[in-house]
Structure 1
Amino acid sequence: MTQLLYVSTSNPSGAKIDLPKIVEQSRHNNALDGVSGLLWSDGKRFLQVLEGPAESVSTTFDRIKGDTRHHAIVVLHQRAITEREFGTWTMAQRRADDTADDFDAKMQRLLRNASDTVRGTFLGLIAARA
């Protein structure tokens, strides 16, 4: 199995990102492909870790790279894994009524089984964007 961590920026065209639609479509596609992970977005940036069979992760990442909602896609980390750190795909998004403490606690739970590299990258970006 493979784990891939990337960051991207939403397309600067000014088009509003429909996060609920992205979540719905990604859950469907990832379930079919056997891909799990975690996607975080503040509406301007995406940080995602994908994991699963190497071919499935590669196919999923190719689909992401072809998605016009993204640009400036950078792979931050890629490695072989023997066990998934994220058993199910999930989306983390801070809602308007979430306090910073509540959101931080949620991210800590979601990142509980993640490697230090993945956890540090997510928490570092979240702290920088707060």
Structure 2
Amino acid sequence: MRQLLYISTATPGTTIDTVGILAASLRNNRREGVTGLLWTDDRRFLQVLEGEDAAVQGVFDRIKADPRHRAIVVLHDRTIAVREFGAWEMARRGPSDTSDAFDTKMRHHLAAASPAVRGTFEGLIAARRAA
């Protein structure tokens, strides 16, 4: 099984419809057997994808071809024995969410993640919080 972690930035001038992205991702990823976690603040995307190699590659190829993304950087790409994310989730801080509530939600999603994956997500979250 493969786990791929990447970060990207929204293309300037692009309107990000997170509800639409979530609906399409849920549908496509279920069909492909891909799970993971997507964190977004509507400007940056940090996502981990897990599943069979060909399925993860197919999802990632669609992401790379999506004009809403730019500066896509793979942070790690490795073989795993067991999924760290058993269900697809999208974490997004809503306008009424407090920083603490959002951080608690993310810690819950990341509970079973490897230290490297958890650290990457927590680092971005901390950086965005400090900004």
Normalised-by-shorter TM-score class: over 0.9
Which residue of 1 is the match for residue 81 of structure 2? 82
CA shift, 1:16, in A, is: 1.2
Which residue of 2 is the match for residue 5 of structure 1? 5
CA shift, 1:3, in A, is: 0.1
| Cα RMSD for the two superposed structures | 0.5
Which residue of 2 is the match for residue 22 of structure 1? 21
Determine helix, strand or coil for the equivalent of 1:92.
Answer: strand
Rounded to whole Å, the distance in 2 between the matches of 1:37 and 1:50 is: 5
Which residue of 1 is the match for residue 105 of structure 2? 106
Deviation readout 1:76-123 (Å, 9 max, x if unpaired): 011100100000111000011111111110000000000000000001
Rounded to whole Å, the distance in 2 between the matches of 1:90 and 1:103 is: 14
CA shift, 1:15, in A, is: 2.1
Rounded to whole Å, the distance in 1 between the matches of 2:101 and 2:16 is: 24
Rounded to whole Å, the distance in 2 between the matches of 1:71 and 1:99 is: 29
Rounded to whole Å, the distance in 2 between the matches of 1:41 and 1:31 is: 20
Rounded to whole Å, the distance in 1 between the matches of 2:35 and 2:100 is: 26
Normalising by the residue count of structure 1, what TM-score does the alignment of the two structures yield? 0.98
Unpaired stretches in structure 2, ≥5 consecutive residues: none
Sequence identity percentage: 59
Rounded to whole Å, the distance in 1 between the matches of 2:35 and 2:14 is: 27
Normalising by the residue count of structure 2, what TM-score does the alignment of the two structures yield? 0.97
The one-letter amino acid paired with 2:63 is I
Could you list the structure 1 runs, at least 4 aligned residues long, displaced by more than 3 angstroms after superposition.
Answer: none
Rounded to whole Å, the distance in 2 between the matches of 1:15 and 1:39 is: 18
The one-letter amino acid paired with 2:100 is D
Matched positions, count:
129
